[in-house]
Amino acid sequence: MIKKIILDCDPGHDDAVAIMLAAASSEIEILGITCVGGNSGLNNTVNNALKVCTLIERTDLKIFSGSNKPIHYDLFTAEYVHGKTGLDKKGDPIIVNPDYNVQEQSAIDFIIETCKSTSDQIYLCPTGPLTNIALSLQKDPSIKNNIKEIVFMGGAAMCLGNTTPSAEFNIYVDPHAANIVLDSGIPLTMMGLDVTHQVNVNKMIINSMNENNNKSSKFFGELMEFYTIFHKKLYETEDTPLHDPCVIAYLLEPNIFKGKLVNVIVEENSKLTRGETIVDWLGVTKRKPNCMVMSHADDKKFFELLKNKLSCLP
């Protein structure tokens, strides 16, 4: 059965790859792409989503603008990773199709309306801070009944954070939103740094994608050339984690990943550990399990899937 999804993102280089992977997959129907402030300010993330869909010739995909800031904190952005525009890259600039515009309806109202009006249950796929999802759940808690699963990129269960020693970026930016989602009772799957750091891009992967010989795979390479600069320096390796497409890969081929259903709660306020995902892997707290936390990824299968899907795009 085709999985109906709302992709909630903050593009972002790896978000862009998540959009491409979803758009290339006939097993998935994208009901809409909702944007949130995260890697860059909201105007940039919306514009970047428009750019990606223009490039892959999918201007039929509707793009919605959501929250420009987290629920309580000021927005913290990651220009140091994604550049000034949030999607800096070498090569020709992408000119958005002039007839292709962001929708008037807000992302929050779109999420609510879609959940309520679609007869099938929907997968929510957040690859940025969880603000839009949390605000939708707050505004209309009844939408829970129509959400099959929320598969999100965020958190770090048994490894270091990437924004502070204890926190991963998406959860760090809006920890309050993360707790609203974690408390929702909706089936949740967390694709945290534990798995995304097992799915690494390097020169070999970029070359292999280029064998597809289409403009979307070339675009992938251009994006990755920029995106890998920061990571190579930080991690002192040639490998760069490709976080966000893990969410879509999981929907397409769940057995690429392995994990465990455990309790997860987020530290909201501590100066030192804001945004830490407290993952009770051993069940020592006896708190009720609320989230499937992925811990293992098969990178060979992941990149086979990605290459195959990108070859289906223009």
- Catalytic residue annotation: 243
Q: Which of 5, 7, 8, 12 binds ligand BDR (CB under 6 A)?
A: 12
Ramachandran assignment for 162, one of left (phi > 0), alpha (psi -120 to 50 degrees), beta (any other): alpha
Paired with 124 in beta bridges are 6, 150
Which one of 12-20, 24-32, 64-72, 106-114 is the stretch in contact with ligand BDR (CB under 6 A)? 12-20
Whichever of 112 and 131 has its CB closer to ligand BDR, that residue is 131
Residue 128 binds Ca ion (CB under 5 A): yes
Residue 15 binds ligand BDR (CB under 6 A): yes
Residue 12 binds Ca ion (CB under 5 A): yes
Nearest by Cα to 152 from 56, 277, 65: 277
Q: Which of 47, 127, 136, 200 binds ligand BDR (CB under 6 A)?
A: 127
> Of residues 185-244, which lie at the interface with Ca ion (CB under 5 A)?
244
Q: Which of 127, 163, 198, 228 binds Ca ion (CB under 5 A)?
A: 127
Residue 168 binds ligand BDR (CB under 6 A): yes
> Of residues 190-249, which lie at the interface with ligand BDR (CB under 6 A)?
243-244
Measured CA to CA in angstroms, residue 220 lies from 29, 78, 79, 215, 305 at distances of: 22, 20, 19, 9, 14
Smallest separation (angstroms) from ligand BDR to the CB of 69? 16
Select the binding partner of residue 169 from Ca ion, ligand BDR, none (C-beta < 5 to 8 A, by kind). ligand BDR
Smallest separation (angstroms) from ligand BDR to the CB of 78? 5
Q: How far is CA 234 from the centre of its chain?
A: 21
Q: Which of 36, 78, 115, 178 binds ligand BDR (CB under 6 A)?
A: 78
Q: Which of 3, 6, 15, 87 binds Ca ion (CB under 5 A)?
A: 15
Smallest separation (angstroms) from ligand BDR to the CB of 160? 12
Enumerate binding residues for ligand BDR (CB under 6 A).
12, 14-15, 39, 78, 81, 127-128, 153, 162, 168-170, 243-244
Residues that bind Ca ion (CB under 5 A): 10, 12, 15, 127-128, 244
